Amino acid sequence: MNGPSSPGPFSRTAGRRGERQRGDRSQRVAQASRNSTSPGTGEVASLSEPERALSRRFCRTLVVALTLAVPSLAGAQLTVRVAVPAAMADSVVYIAGSFNGWNPGSPAYRLMPDGPGRYAITLPADVRGPIEFKFTLGSWEKVEVDSVGGGVGNRRFTVPAEGAVTWTGRIGGWQDPAKIPPRPHTATASVSVLDTAFAIPQLGRARRVWIYLPPGYATSGRRYPVLYMHDGQNVFDAATSAFGEWGVDETLDSLHAQGGPDAIVVAVDHGGQGRMDEYSPWRNARYGGGEGDAYVDFLARTLKPYIDRHYRTLTDARSTGVAGSSMGGLISLYAGLRYPEVFGRVGVFSPSLWFAPAIYAYARRARPRAGQRFYFVIGAREGDTPEVYVADQRRMIDTLAAAGFRVGVQVDSLVRADGTHAEWFWRREFPLAFRRLFGDAAQPRTARPARRIRSHSPGTQPR
């Protein structure tokens, strides 16, 4: 599969440039009118009647011209025009890139016919600065290739801060899914698929769920901590991952060989096109969201009780964690804030905090719980605007500190200079995060009684 070679989370541009330009336009029109008339009369001074009539017509024409011309500057956007081979002229073409989460089949990013064998799309006005993108037929299995079927890298373009711009290009062809060589499976013997269609009653759908059992689980008689993870396709197996895997099983197998710590890991596949919906409890006007409450309820009220019934687990909060990256980092943070009596260990990798700004107010109302621990890590080279992502994480750390969490004890925050928004980075950072979160919880001991689960909806105060 020839997906994006450097997938980013989403592109974000701050400011109200359009509103500012609309205000400038009104001032220019008013000034043009004032310069054409006598003070207080609204009539052109020192002209004959025919000259005044001609001048009035000219002023009306000038105002109309300004009204029509200036919006094209104020609302100026990037227009993408692309040509396809004649034999593929009836294709349904999409654009995927750093500005839409590399979604290969988003209806909002479908190109429209623009003449024989040509397609075009105008991107949202806030898509500015450096971007990367590719064209697809709706999935990464059908991504663009060159004229001889070879893979192509991400297309790159810098959208100017102001003014209209057009990018033009050509597509050589489309990848044939039947010709994609199968990728080798890399999951270790410690990994199995718990269920290919585990029911999620809170959402009325089902999902594949993976489970990792530590080496020696079958004979040890021990009870183990449990870490719940999102984007299960990318946790254990390169054959199912779109952008590379975390290698969690290899990491934990290696730690076990060195004497631990050990843990059970349960990974839930994301929902494809519905991933952003499930990974945020708040809606984002452009990208969706709003199903995060139901998804977190599933983890706490359905999946965890099932795992605790069928496996030897330590059920208390200090022995139960949740972790993920990007949108998975956002929903992990929310799960820890909403269910502190369930998830006492929270791993937040490169969180897409910008997607749901309401998370800051929610975190500010949180009450620190003894023993709960959050681990944040982000790269200084994330996405199109890395300084924004780093600033967002720092703001969240400050927010948790204001809520009473002790930074350095209950909250860790790391910024890696070379880190990017990619699986290789999260794979590298996972061992340290796991040791920090579970180093004390993952030792053999008797399970504590599970506490009653409380639910805290968005906007209500966590307890």
Banded model confidence at residue 99, pLDDT cuts 50, 70, 90: confident
CA distance 93 to 113: 9
Whether 286 shows a pLDDT value over 90: the answer reads no
Of 70-74, 81-85, 321-325, 355-359, minimum mean pLDDT range: 70-74
Return the pLDDT at 91: 84
Whether 104 shows a pLDDT value over 70: the answer reads yes
What are the residues whose beta carbons fall under 8 Å from the beta carbon of 418, sequence distance 6 or more? 379, 380, 381
- Name the nearest CA neighbour of 325 among 256, 419, 447: 419
Return the pLDDT at 433: 98
Question: 423 with 246: CB under 8 angstroms?
Answer: yes
What are the residues whose beta carbons fall under 8 Å from the beta carbon of 131, sequence distance 6 or more? 11, 97, 98, 99, 156, 157, 158, 159, 384
The sign one gets for the Cα dihedral 13, 14, 19, 24 is negative
- What is the 8-class DSSP label of residue 270? -
What are the residues whose beta carbons fall under 8 Å from the beta carbon of 385, sequence distance 6 or more? 11, 12, 13, 129
CA distance 239 to 245: 9
Return the pLDDT at 290: 97
Kindly report the number of other CB atoms within 10 A of residue 27's CB atom: 9
Q: What are the two backbone dihedrals, phi and then psi, of residue 407, each rounded to the nearest 5 degrees?
A: -70, 135
Banded model confidence at residue 32, pLDDT cuts 50, 70, 90: very low
Q: Would you call the peptide bond into 7 cis, given omega within 30 degrees of 0 as the criterion? A: no
Is this prediction's pTM over 0.85? no
Percentage above 90 pLDDT, the chain? 63
Residue type, 385: T
Return the pLDDT at 101: 79
Return the pLDDT at 234: 97
3-state secondary structure of 351: coil
Mean pLDDT of 428-448: 78
Return the pLDDT at 462: 37
Mean pLDDT of 249-275: 94
Q: What are the two backbone dihedrals, phi and then psi, of residue 40, each rounded to the nearest 5 degrees?
A: 80, -15
Where residue 459 falls (left for φ over 0; alpha for ψ -120 to 50; beta otherwise) is: left
Mean pLDDT of 248-254: 97
Question: 421 with 350: CB under 8 angstroms?
Answer: yes
Which has more pLDDT, 260 or 199? 199
What residue ranges define each of the domains in the chain, with the CATH number in brackets? 1-176 (2.60.40.10), 191-438 (3.40.50.1820)
Whether 121 shows a pLDDT value over 70: the answer reads yes
Of 145-149, 220-224, 226-230, 418-422, minimum mean pLDDT range: 145-149
Return the pLDDT at 309: 98
Q: For 132-165, what is each residue's pLDDT tens digit?
A: 999 999 988 899 999 888 889 999 999 998 889 9
Whether 13 shows a pLDDT value over 70: the answer reads no
Question: 276 with 171: CB under 8 angstroms?
Answer: no
- Name the nearest CA neighbour of 132 among 161, 162, 95: 95
Residue type, 378: I
Q: For 41-76, what is each residue's pLDDT tens digit?
A: 333 344 455 555 544 544 443 333 333 333 333 455
Whether 414 shows a pLDDT value over 50: the answer reads yes
Whether 196 shows a pLDDT value over 70: the answer reads yes
Banded model confidence at residue 103, pLDDT cuts 50, 70, 90: confident
CA angle 289, 290, 296 (to 5 degrees): 105
Mean of the per-residue pLDDT values for the chain? Answer: 83
CA distance 306 to 315: 11
Return the pLDDT at 5: 54
Burial class of 19 by CB neighbour count within 10 A (0 to 12, 13 to 18, 19+): exposed
Q: Looking up tokens 């069928």, which residue turns up?
A: 310
Banded model confidence at residue 77, pLDDT cuts 50, 70, 90: confident
Angle between helices 423-438 and 248-257 (to 10 degrees): 40
Q: Looking up tokens 């494809």, which residue turns up?
A: 272
